[in-house]
Amino acid sequence: MTEGFHRPQTEMIPNRAAPASSVGIVGWVRTNLLSSWVNVGLTLIGFYLIWLIVPPLLMWAFFDATYIGTDRFACEDRVGACWVFLDQRFAQFLYGFYPSEQTWRVNIALIMLIPALAPLLFDKMPGGKYLRWFSLAYPFIATFLLIGGFGLEEIPTNKFGGFMLNITVGLAGIFLSLPVGILLALGRRSQLPFVRIFCIGFIEVFRGVPLITMMFTAAMLLPLFLPPQMSLDLVVRVIVVVTAFASAYMAEVIRGGLAAIDRGQYEAAQALGLSYWKSMLLIILPQALKYSIPGIVNTFIALFKDTTLVIVIGLFDILNIGRSMVANPDWLGLGIETYAIIALSFFTVCFSISRYSLSLERRLDTSR
* Residues 347, 286 share a domain: yes
Of 287, 284, 244, 255, the C-alpha closest to 268 is 284
Whats the size of the chain, residue-wise?
A: 368
Is residue 150 in some structural domain?
no
* Residues 199, 232 share a domain: yes
**Long-range contacts of the stretch 303-306 (C-beta < 8 A, 24+):** 303/170, 303/173, 303/174, 303/177, 303/242, 303/245, 303/246, 304/166, 304/170, 304/173, 304/174, 304/346, 304/349, 304/350, 304/353, 305/346, 305/350, 306/211, 306/242, 306/245
Can you give the pLDDT of all 368 residues of the chain as single tens digits? 455 555 666 777 777 666 655 666 777 787 888 888 888 899 999 999 999 999 999 999 988 888 888 888 888 877 888 888 888 888 999 999 999 899 999 999 999 998 888 887 777 777 667 788 888 899 899 999 999 888 889 998 888 999 999 999 999 999 999 999 999 999 998 888 999 999 999 999 999 999 999 888 888 877 777 776 667 788 888 999 999 999 999 999 999 999 888 888 888 888 888 888 888 888 888 888 888 888 999 999 999 999 999 988 888 899 999 999 888 888 888 889 999 999 999 999 999 999 888 888 888 776 65
* Residues 33, 79 share a domain: no
Is residue 7 in some structural domain?
no
Q: What does the DSSP 8-state code read for residue 16?
A: P
Is residue 112 in some structural domain?
no
The strand pairing partners of 82, in sequence order, are 66
* 211 within 8 A of 245, measured Cβ to Cβ: yes
Q: In the chain, count of helices (H) and strands (E)?
A: 16, 0
Is residue 262 in some structural domain?
yes
Helix 318-327 vs helix 335-363: crossing angle, to nearest 10: 160
* 262 within 8 A of 312, measured Cβ to Cβ: no
* Residues 167, 54 share a domain: no
CATH number at residue 351: 1.10.3720.10
* Residues 81, 50 share a domain: no
Phi and psi torsions of 152, nearest 5°: -90, 140
Give residue 225's domain range.
73-98+155-363
Boundary-marking domain end, from 8, 38, 63: 63
Task: Please measure the distance between the N-terminal and C-terminal CA atoms of the chain and give it in whole angstroms.
Answer: 50
> How many structural domains does the chain have?
2
The strand pairing partners of 66, in sequence order, are 82
Q: Rounded to whole angstroms, how far apart are CA atoms 120 and 142?
A: 17
Q: Rounded to whole angstroms, how far apart are CA atoms 338 and 336?
A: 6
pTM tops 0.85: no
Diameter over CA atoms, the chain:
111
Is residue 167 in some structural domain?
yes
* 3-class secondary structure, 108: helix
* Residues 31, 91 share a domain: no
* Residues 92, 34 share a domain: no
Is residue 40 in some structural domain?
yes
* Residues 85, 40 share a domain: no
